[in-house]
Amino acid sequence: MRPEILTSLLAARAAKQQVALVSNLETGDQTLVFRDRTEGSLSLDDDALDATRNALRDDKSGRLRRDDAPLFVQVFNPPKRMIIVGAVHIAQPLVTLAQTSGYEVVIVDPRGAFATRDRFPGVTLSEDWPDDALNTLGVDNRTAVVTLTHDPKLDDPALHVALRSEAFYIGALGSRKTHAGRVERLTEAGYTEDEIGLIHAPVGLAINAKSPAEIAISIMAQITQVLHGA
């Protein structure tokens, strides 16, 4: 591997960027493929670029089926991330399930009495206002956003950011009546029906969940379902 390729790859991983290393198995030429650019000596046609970016999306390394050259794609994706707005009871089992599923978890709650190290050990905590927190964190296509506070003053600002982002999943806790009010507020704020339709609400799969742990299971199951296009 050329030093400049290694330097760029390490920098991308440190910055938690999505990147794939494409190698010609005959010549040794290599190119880094990012979501918006390439770096390296190996030229790739549009089909190879599309296949590489599909591999990034699918988190799947492997050989590319090519007649002209034997290519291998090695995917270096950052961990998936879940941003939970609201350090409520449901958040505790949801954190455990998310971490077990390989997610980095961030809890956002400006109410300092809720988002504490005692309640959420080993989790990144933010006491910023939800929209500020999400803008600072950056919401990309490997991020799930879940709002749990039941408080429009906290949930809505997060949803405003999430709906304008690439988040692969957006979920909001609340009854159908609660969501109807949410839809009305978002419509008044200028969001389209299709945009509002990106919100999974009431959040979670319909498994008649009752306890915080059961609700967390339903949420994690739905996120997994959306992630894999099931």
Q: What is the pLDDT of residue 189?
A: 95
Angle formed by the axes of helices 91-100 and 212-227, nearest 10°:
40
Average pLDDT over residues 187-208: 96
Q: What is the pLDDT of residue 2?
A: 86
Nearest to residue 124, comparing CAs of 108, 145, 100? 108
Residues forming beta bridges with residue 171, ordered by sequence position: 146, 200
| Whether pLDDT at 230 is above 80 | no
1's tokens: 């591997």
Q: What is the pLDDT of residue 146?
A: 99
Distance, CA of 94 to chain centre: 15
pLDDT tens column, 118-134 = 999 999 999 999 999 99
Average pLDDT over residues 181-195: 96
Average pLDDT over residues 65-83: 90
Q: What is the pLDDT of residue 193?
A: 95
**CB count in 10 Å sphere of residue 4:** 12
DSSP secondary structure letters along 113-163 = TTS-TTTSTTSEEE-S-HHHHHHHH---TTEEEEE----HHHHHHHHHHHH
Q: What is the pLDDT of residue 112?
A: 83
| Whether pLDDT at 156 is above 80 | yes
| Whether pLDDT at 229 is above 90 | no
Euclidean distance between CA atoms 215 and 130, whole angstroms: 22
| Whether pLDDT at 66 is above 80 | no
Domain boundaries, the chain: 3-76, 80-227
Structure-model confidence comparison of residues 67 and 41, the more confident one = 41
Q: What is the pLDDT of residue 217?
A: 98
Q: What is the pLDDT of residue 68?
A: 76
198's tokens: 């990106």
Structure-model confidence comparison of residues 66 and 225, the more confident one = 225
Q: What percent of the chain shows pLDDT beyond 70? A: 100
Euclidean distance between CA atoms 23 and 87, whole angstroms: 45
| Whether pLDDT at 65 is above 90 | no
- Assign 15 a pLDDT band (cuts: 50, 70, 90): confident
CATH number for the segment(s) 80-227: 3.40.50.720
| Whether pLDDT at 83 is above 90 | yes
| Whether pLDDT at 43 is above 80 | yes
Mean residue pLDDT across the chain: 94
Euclidean distance between CA atoms 24 and 157, whole angstroms: 47
Q: What is the pLDDT of residue 69?
A: 82
| Whether pLDDT at 3 is above 90 | no
- Assign 34 a pLDDT band (cuts: 50, 70, 90): very high
